[in-house]
Amino acid sequence: MRLDKYLTAACDMTRKQARAAIRAGDVTVDDARVTAPGWHVATDSRIALSGQALASPAGRYFMLHKPEGYICATRDGHRPTVLDLLDEPNRERLQIVGRLDRDTTGLLLLTDDGQWNHQVTSPRRDCGKVYLLETATPIDPGAIEVFERGIVLQPENCRTRPARLVILAPQRAQLTISEGRYHQVKRMMAAVGSEVIRLHRSAIGAIRLDDGLAPGRYRPLTATEIESVG
């Protein structure tokens, strides 16, 4: 990790403030003064600011029950964002793990651990995302086999990975996908003649939306939930 990034996480400083402190000679790494903000900090390095030892910054991991009407962005001049729902310091540094459309509800993960984010979202990890959906008209049972083979979506002209569709009622289903393409669930359902009118994400991998978490509320992930990814 870069030294300036380490300071911003460990001291609640802005990147500009961290760089200024480093260049001013206020920071030591393993008892040696370092003035380069880009200096690489090893995991076992001892960092001190103005002689005060700093604790190693811990990553932050949250589960949010996203309500309808919020967009997955760090800022927007006109519409509320999911970060507006968080009462956390430096919330703008949190990354949104697998975005949801404005009208889609359910499980949203947020973290400042970029590697963990990649592990969740990379298609190579095969981390299944589970959605509950409702359609305007009855779902064709033949869609189950179509989804198992994958669907060629336009304009990418690329086949999706196999997906698992479980029809719960004529106009309700559960869909599990391992990708996160633009509007993927809605586009896949449209390809088999079904318009999605309600969409809710209930799980990502082994992490399930907490039943006790009301829309708009959030909580830290447990150690077990964090370690389930990887």
| Catalytic residue annotation | 101
Longest dimension (CA), the chain: 69
Cα–Cα distances in Å, from 108 out to 65, 149, 202, 209, 221? 6, 28, 9, 8, 11
Cβ–Cβ < 8 Å for 193, 122: no
Residue of 9, 14, 3 whose CA lies nearest to 46? 3
d(CA 221, CA 230): 15
Encode burial over 191-219: b for 16+ CB neighbours within 10 A, e otherwise.
bbebebeebbbbbbbebebbeeeeeeebe
Nearest by Cα to 129 from 161, 170, 154: 161
